[in-house]
Amino acid sequence: MSLHRRLRACPWSTWPEPFGVVPVAHLRSVVDGTGPVTTLLQPGPVIRSDAPLLRAVVRMNDLGVRQLLVVDAETESRLVGILAMSDLVRAHARAAPTGPRPAGLQRPGPLPELVARSLMVPPIEVSGSAKVQDLASQLRDGGAKAFVVREGADEFGVLLPEHLLEFARDEDLEKMLIAADLARPAPTVTEGADVAALVEAMREDGTEATVVVDAQTGSLPGW
């Protein structure tokens, strides 16, 4: 695990077994509190240490997360590390040809070829004036994974579950906020974009999702 990464959630364990994760946003909100950390715990998504990188990409996409807890391949319970989207970006960068390499040093193979339509999920496009409280209700009811806000002819913002949950503890503030207040800028790719293009689109620090658009119509088949 790189010491220079900015993690969105901290793993908490009765070492060596993972116990859950604590979102950094929640830690900041109770930094002056005296309650136990266990009251902030959420289930942590895991992946085996021997899983292919592509499986990690797909799992992050399916769960709408940017980090996975890595568990030992034999026991599937012992925590051995954290895999973040930034790690996948660096892995792809190392696999890309950049010139001759020192003798005896092998280059990692490229990620298997997949296209954006294989990984995307159907989008729920909402108005920038949609109430955050209503969107949070849709998430809790299980009817949505994320929301897309159109900010221009070809510009989009996304709202992920963690963006909404940051304000779930403050009902008064949640009632005041609208989608445009929380939407994060998101790059776009076309349906036929491969994994390399997806990784490149998400290379910029802070990017958490990519919006998939139809190359001809600009419509939203997925994100």
Give the pLDDT band (50/70/90) at residue 2.
very low
Q: Please give the Cα distance from 60 to 45 (Å, whole number).
A: 9
Please give the pLDDT value at position 71. Answer: 83
For the chain, the three-class secondary structure string (H helix, E strand, C coil) is CCCCCCCCEEEEEECCEEEEEEEHHHHHHCCCCCCCHHHHCECCCEEECCCCHHHHHHHHHHHCCCEEEEECCCCCCCEEEEEEHHHHHHHHHHHCCCCCCCCCCCCCCCCCCCEHHHHCCCCCEECCCCEHHHHHHHHHCCCCCCEEEECCCCCEEEECHHHHHCCCCCHHHHHHCEHHHHCEEECEEECCCEHHHHHHHCCCCCCCCCEEECCCCCCCCEC
Q: Are residue 161 and residue 201 in the same domain, yes or no?
A: yes
Q: Are residue 85 and residue 136 in the same domain, yes or no?
A: no
Torsion of CA 191, 193, 195, 196, to 10 degrees: -160
Task: Dump pLDDT digits (tens) for 120-140.
Answer: 777 788 899 999 888 888 888
By the 10 Å C-beta count (0-12 exposed, 13-18 middle, 19+ buried), 198 is classed as buried
Q: Are residue 71 and residue 156 in the same domain, yes or no?
A: no
Please give the pLDDT value at position 143. Answer: 66
Domain count, the chain: 2
Q: Are residue 163 and residue 89 in the same domain, yes or no?
A: no
> Hey, CA dihedral for 49, 52, 53, 58, is it positive or negative?
negative
Is 146 inside any structural domain?
A: yes
Is 194 inside any structural domain?
A: yes
How far from chain centre, in Å, is Cα 62? 9
Place of tokens 């240490």: 49
Q: Are residue 88 and residue 16 in the same domain, yes or no?
A: yes
More confident of the two residues 31 and 185: 185
Is 204 inside any structural domain?
A: yes
Poorest-confidence range of 28-37, 44-53, 85-94?
Answer: 28-37
Q: Are residue 68 and residue 153 in the same domain, yes or no?
A: no
Confidence check: pLDDT of 111 > 60: no
- 220 contacts 213 by C-beta, under 8 angstroms: yes
CATH number of the domain that residue 60 is part of? 3.10.580.10
By the 10 Å C-beta count (0-12 exposed, 13-18 middle, 19+ buried), 49 is classed as middle
Is 3 inside any structural domain?
A: no
Q: Are residue 122 and residue 205 in the same domain, yes or no?
A: yes
More confident of the two residues 107 and 184: 184
Is 1 inside any structural domain?
A: no
Can you give the residue range of the structural domain that contains 204?
116-213
AA letter at 106: Q
